[in-house]
A and B are shown apart, each in its own frame.
Chain A
Amino acid sequence: MRTLTVMIFTIVAGLSASPQNTRQEGRYPDWSGQWERIGSLNWPPEGYAAAGPAPLTEEYQAVYEEIQELRGNGILAGDPPATCLPPGMPRVMKMSFPMEIIVTPDVTYIIADWESQVRRIYTDGRDWPEYLFPEFNGYSIGEWHDENGDGLYDMLSVETRGIKGPRSIDSTGVVLHENDQTVVLEELRRIDENTLEDRITTIDDAFTGPWTIHQRYNHATEDVLWVEYVCAEGNRHIKLGDEWYFLNDAEGILEPTREGQPRLVPEAQVTP
């Protein structure tokens, strides 16, 4: 009988303490609608000209300079989305195109028009998995906070790990370290009715230390539309081994991008 009582108590206590009963759904903010990037496509929203250069280590400064030299010769190095790879974390939060945020008690979804990417930020109290399967957007665990003490959640802190490469921070040739040990910390809060801010700190071995930006997004009220983005439809840039080509499908060939590089013509088109 005592055993049964303990079992019942345990079950009832367990139920009352379960996440389902403590979510208090009315506490979560409404961040719905369309959010558009404010500021530069450079990683610092104010642009490198105003913010100064990326805090690259000596090793990755050399990588950056090599990328500039390659680009000067027509080779599109250091910019993985050029071949339709997703931008990955943290670059996806630059939001080249608008994003939608869906807040639920267990998961906050960030849906980016750019490359039709989805981030899932788990807020159900879970711990890190034993093994993080590498993905371009990584694995994100978040926690809601009530910063102004009014009983409502107003800030979402996020930690993202397990991020797959290759990645660049933007399109300027600043690439993240090839060891893919990046950790991204974020604080998302609505700073006024029309503005959402993501304080993004990137910890990566390509940088001399944590690199924080304050990326803001405007709440769109006009021209709100969502546009499908399927990169394979119109991509021109093809990488074969170490060579880059530019697709000319009307002619059925791959055009060279650098001086002295031959056209790549299918064997069937070559006149004997």
Chain B
Amino acid sequence: MKTLCLLTLSAAALLSLTLFVDTASPHHSTAIYDSGNPVELRGTVVEWRFVNPHCIIMLEVIDDNGDTAIWSLEGSNTSLLIRRGWTPVTLKTGDEIVVTVRPLQSGAPGGNYSNPRWEDGTPVDPRG
């Protein structure tokens, strides 16, 4: 039921990811993430926190070896997402989603997410 995987990004996805990369960001630099090796994570939402400075997704992911880990993922902020129609219940525990992640350089299960999608590929973002 929790079919999860780590995927290497396609060229198109990589291009869309670059749209999120900036040399400056509202809260802090994103230079610490491994932007050169983004991954797509497919997993189950354990918790969605609609808070600042980042809206947090705790995502349960099973890797190719069958090992399970909960990824701690930070993304955008409530100020921006409220204006795009997001709410504290946009995501719910148990939702199956796919996100693009710039992972921690340590390889630990954490990082910065963007472009969350439902399993059928439609954007979670109400404005697409």
Chain A interfacial positions (CB closer than 8 Å to B): 40-42, 48, 68, 71-76, 78-79, 81-82, 84, 96-98, 113-114, 170-173, 223, 225, 227-231, 233-237, 244, 246-251, 255-261, 263
9 examples of A-B residue contacts, CB within 8 angstroms: A41-B26, A71-B32, A73-B105, A82-B29, A173-B31, A228-B52, A229-B52, A230-B52, A236-B72
Contact yes or no, B104 A250, CB < 8 A: no
Most B C-beta atoms less than 10 A away, residue of A96, A171, A229, A234? A234
Complex CA distance for A250 and B53, rounded to whole angstroms: 18
Contact yes or no, B27 A82, CB < 8 A: yes
Complex CA distance for A113 and B26, rounded to whole angstroms: 12
Chain B interfacial positions (CB closer than 8 Å to A): 22-29, 31-32, 46-47, 49, 51-56, 58, 69-72, 74, 77-79, 82-83, 104-110
A41-B25, A250-B47 known; A231 vs B32 contact (CB < 8 Å): no
Which residues of the partner chain B approach A48 to less than 8 Å between Cβ atoms? 23
Which residues of the partner chain A approach B83 to less than 8 Å between Cβ atoms? 223, 225
User: Quick one: closest A residue to B34, CB to CB?
Assistant: A74
Contact yes or no, A251 B79, CB < 8 A: no
Interface of B is mostly: loop
Contact yes or no, A255 B51, CB < 8 A: no
Choose one: B53, B55, B106; the contact of A235 (CB below 8 Å): B53
Contact yes or no, A41 B32, CB < 8 A: no
Which residues of the partner chain A approach B23 to less than 8 Å between Cβ atoms? 42, 48, 172
Complex CA distance for A74 and B108, rounded to whole angstroms: 11
Contact yes or no, A229 B108, CB < 8 A: no
Contact yes or no, B31 A72, CB < 8 A: yes
A81-B28, A82-B29, A96-B27 known; A261 vs B106 contact (CB < 8 Å): yes
Which residues of the partner chain A approach B77 to less than 8 Å between Cβ atoms? 97, 229
CB distance from B91 to the nearest CB of A (A): 14
Nearest 4 CB-CB pairings of A with B:
A82-B28, A74-B105, A96-B26, A41-B24
A74-B106, A234-B52, A237-B28 known; A248 vs B82 contact (CB < 8 Å): no
Complex CA distance for A199 and B16, rounded to whole angstroms: 35
Contact yes or no, A71 B106, CB < 8 A: no
CB distance from A260 to the nearest CB of B (A): 8
Most B C-beta atoms less than 10 A away, residue of A73, A76, A250? A250
Which residues of the partner chain B approach A97 to less than 8 Å between Cβ atoms? 26, 77, 79
Contact yes or no, A234 B49, CB < 8 A: yes
CB distance from A198 to the nearest CB of B (A): 18
CB distance from B81 to the nearest CB of A (A): 10
Choose one: A229, A235, A250; the contact of B79 (CB below 8 Å): A229
Complex CA distance for A160 and B54, rounded to whole angstroms: 30
Contact yes or no, B72 A246, CB < 8 A: yes
Contact yes or no, A171 B32, CB < 8 A: no
Contact yes or no, A172 B29, CB < 8 A: yes
